[in-house]
Chains A and B, each alone.
Chain A
Amino acid sequence: MTVAPASKNSQRFPLRKEQNPAAVQRPKRKRPDASNFSIRMGQLGLAVAVLGAWELLGRIGVIDPFFFPLPSDILVTVWAWISTGFVFPHLWITLQEAVLAFITGATAGLVLGFLLARVRLLERLFDPFLQMFNALPRVVLAPIFLLWFGLGIWSKVAFGFTLVFFIVFFNTLEGVKSVDRVLVDNAKMLGASEKQLLRHVFIPSALTWIFSSLHISVGFAITGAVVGEYLGASAGVGYAIAQAQGVFDTEGVFAGMFILMVVVLIIDLGVNRVERHLLRWRPPQQSS
């Protein structure tokens, strides 16, 4: 399970924009149009080459289409799922779970992160317990949540919550603690109360960290929902994939993956928009 190491990693080093896989495709603002265009063409060419080779090798029988269904067949299945409306109720359930997990997890992570960063005593008190829960591979919690909360959406929300919470929490904690001392002193000298410090200094300063964690935690919210559904549910995209796998319908499995991927990309685009607006004060990042 990649869950624990990824969140551990993000806690120390929030991904910078250029390292963030979700942000790589975003057009760089300062680039001249020509090179931007040629990059686009290169990306398109790469995608066509890989998918074309896959299709070709499958058709001439080098790879077994039973395990690696042809891209064309996958697209047909995707279209079938969409045109018959089969996928939408499942997607709706999955999104509901993901959104609820994200909102509860991010809110709890933010509040606790700010609280512990500002109250040294609480941080020292809670630290070992948080480390313990973070060290636990979260996937093992899924079965117990199924028992506690049943087959419905709440067991998936609880599972997603545990994934989202720790990422947002550790990033917020680190973000608030790493605020430049001088900025805090300056605001204090200008007469800032604790509440004003939070509003004018700590929250904006921690935003950079929080946003880098949002990209990851949005993905994890959906991961939580899908994995939860996969392990036991009566609806959702994860459930649909599990059903397809149960009847050796690999095309269905790939179609489910494809649809999830597109949905996550669209959501990430939205996060990027919000981020760009809220972090507009930041100097454009120099490309290394």
Chain B
Amino acid sequence: MTQPSQPESSKYAVELNGCTKEFATPGGGSYFAVRDIDLKVEPGRFVSIVGPTGSGKSTILNMAAGLLNPSSGTVHSFGEPVHGVNRRASYMFQQDALLPWKSVIDNVSLGLTMAGVSKSDAYDESRRWLEKVGLKNFADRYPHQLSGGMRKRTAVAQAWIVNPDILLMDEPFSALDVQTRQIMENELLQLWQESDKAVVFITHDLDEAIALSDEVIILGAGPGSTVVGSYEIDIPRPRDLLEIRDDPKFVDLHREIWGRLKVEVSRTYESAREEESDAA
């Protein structure tokens, strides 16, 4: 927040410059969740952030969303500094974020009705989206009556209906079983290819990251983690996610990136074990 937005930054959908986030601990101390994060996402790009547990992946996403303010550093979106919620972004949460007291169609149309669209127009648009995600017969159900996969589809429709320029996704499919997850990934990729949206996708699953993305960013072990590597994924599109894991390019990239990620994962594991033995 200290410096005005630079003109050359305006081409990035999301731009984090030297962002550090410090949290207060209940004991009165503080710890750094992430340190000196630089992240640049061009419009229309699919970028994944991968890192071991506790590496502050969600913190980065929340700063890009404007739900968290960085302790130092700046966040810009299309050249505008982000103050409060980032209006050009939609967010898909890891947990269920559908309002349980609203039916599927009311959940999907929420973003439109809150923006002042008339209820009938919002419903028409919602029905179009429900059809797209294969839920047109479930419009009047409540979320607790749906399966996990159907709830995620509803969440996809809810996030996309407002036509955001940026999609922030925090391990959106991690709670799903493997088969449902692959289907959802395929559908997500299809939706995204028809659009020109920037996606920032958080996952702890390297396979998923490589299969989906244009770029994979590796975070170091937490706390106070920072970006330790960035890899361009040049597997041609459109990709067939059900076959991609056998693609030689995929295998090479996976080996290369895993070599780097492995180090961070084992560091996280080591420090967790140390803490355990300290406590014992």
Chain A residues at the B interface, C-beta cutoff of 8 Å: 180, 182-183, 185-193, 196, 200-201, 204-205, 207, 279, 281-283
Q: A182-B93, A283-B144 are in contact. Are A192 and B99 (CB under 8 A)?
A: no
Residues of B within 8 A of A201 (CB): 99
A185 to B96, CA, bound (A): 12
- The verdict on B111 contacting chain A, using a C-beta distance below 8 Å, is yes
Contact of B111 among A190, A204, A207, A279 (CB under 8 A): A190
- For the A-B complex with A186-B98, A283-B144 known, give 4 more contacts whose Cβ atoms are closer than 8 Å: A180-B95, A183-B99, A189-B91, A200-B102
Known contacts A190-B162, A283-B144, A183 near B114 by CB under 8 Å: no
- B101–A281 contact, CB under 8 A? yes
By the criterion CB–CB under 8 Å, are A185 and B99 in contact?
A: no
Cβ–Cβ contact B110 & A187, under 8 A: yes
Contact B90 A200 (CB under 8 A): no
Asked whether, in the complex, the Cβ of B142 is within 8 Å of the Cβ of A183, the reply is no
- Taken residue by residue from 34 to 70, chain B's Cβ proximity to chain A (1 for < 8 Å, 0 otherwise) reads as 0000000000000000000000000000000101000
Evaluate contact between B90 and A192: CB separation under 8 angstroms.
no
Q: Write the nearest CB–CB distance from A211 to chain B, whole angstroms.
A: 13
Interface residue? B235 (CB, 8 A): no
Contact between B97 and A188, CB atoms less than 8 A apart? no
Q: Which chain A residues lie closer than 8 Å to B115 at the CB level?
A: 191
Contact A189 B90 (CB under 8 A): yes
Given A189-B90, A191-B111, A191-B115, A182 and B97 contact (CB-CB distance below 8 Å): yes
B85 adjacent to A188 (CB under 8 Å): yes
Task: Specify the main secondary structure of chain B where it touches its partner.
Answer: loop
Q: A183-B97, A201-B99 are in contact. Are A188 and B67 (CB under 8 A)?
A: yes
Judging by beta carbons under 8 Å apart, are B100 and A190 in contact? no
Q: Is B89 an interface residue (CB 8 A)?
A: yes
Partner of A196, one of B89, B91, B114, B158: B114
* Whole-angstrom distance between the Cβ of A152 and the nearest chain B Cβ: 42
Task: Report the minimal beta-carbon distance from B165 to chain A, rounded to whole angstroms.
Answer: 13
User: B130-171: contact bitstring with A at CB < 8 Å (1 yes, 0 no)?
Assistant: 000000000000101100000000000010001000000000
A182 touches B65 (CB 8 A): no
**Residue among A180, A191, A279 with max Cβ neighbours from chain B (10 Å):** A191
Q: Does B87 contact A (CB under 8 A)?
A: yes
A191 touches B87 (CB 8 A): yes
When C-beta atoms are compared, the residue in chain A nearest to B106 turns out to be A200
Inter-chain contacts of B162 with A (CB < 8 A): 190-191
- Enumerate chain A residues within 8 angstroms of B97, measured Cβ to Cβ: 182-183, 185-186
User: Which of B87, B90, B101, B144 is close to A204, meaning CB atoms less than 8 Å apart?
Assistant: B101
Q: Contact check: which of B65, B95, B103 meets A189 at CB < 8 Å? A: B65
Q: B280 CB to closest chain A CB, in angstroms? A: 33
Within 8 Å by CB of A190, from B67, B90, B101, B142, lies: B90
Among A193, A200, A279, A283, point to the contact of B110 (Cβ < 8 A). Answer: A200
Given the complex, which residues of B lie within 8 Å of A191, measured CB to CB?
A: 85, 87, 111, 114-115, 162
A200 vs B100: C-alpha distance when bound (angstroms) = 11
Q: Name the residue of chain A whose CB is nearest to the CB of B89.
A: A189
Name, among B101, B111, B144, the residue most crowded by chain A CB atoms within 10 Å (CB to CB): B101
Q: What chain B residues lie within 8 Å of A186 (beta carbons)? A: 91, 93, 97-98
* B71-105 interface with A by 8 A CB criterion: 85-87, 89-91, 93, 95-103
Interface string of B11-37 (1 = CB under 8 A from A): 000000000000000000000000000
- The answer to whether A182 and B95 have CB atoms under 8 Å apart is yes
Q: How far is the CB of A190 from chain B (nearest CB, A)?
A: 4
* Closest-CB distance, A274 to chain B (whole angstroms): 15
Chain B residue numbers with a CB within 8 Å of A182 are 93, 95-97
A-side contacts of B85, CB under 8 Å: 188-189, 191
Shortest distance from the beta carbon of A209 to any chain B beta carbon, whole Å: 13
CB distance from B163 to the nearest CB of A (A): 12
Task: Report the separation of the CA atoms of residues A247 and B95 in the bound assembly, to the nearest whole angstrom.
Answer: 66
Chain A residues with CB under 8 A of B89: 189
For residue A204, which residues in chain B have a CB less than 8 angstroms away from its CB? 99, 101
Closest A residue to B115 by beta carbon equals: A191
- How far, in whole Å, are A207 and B102 apart by their CA atoms in the complex? 14
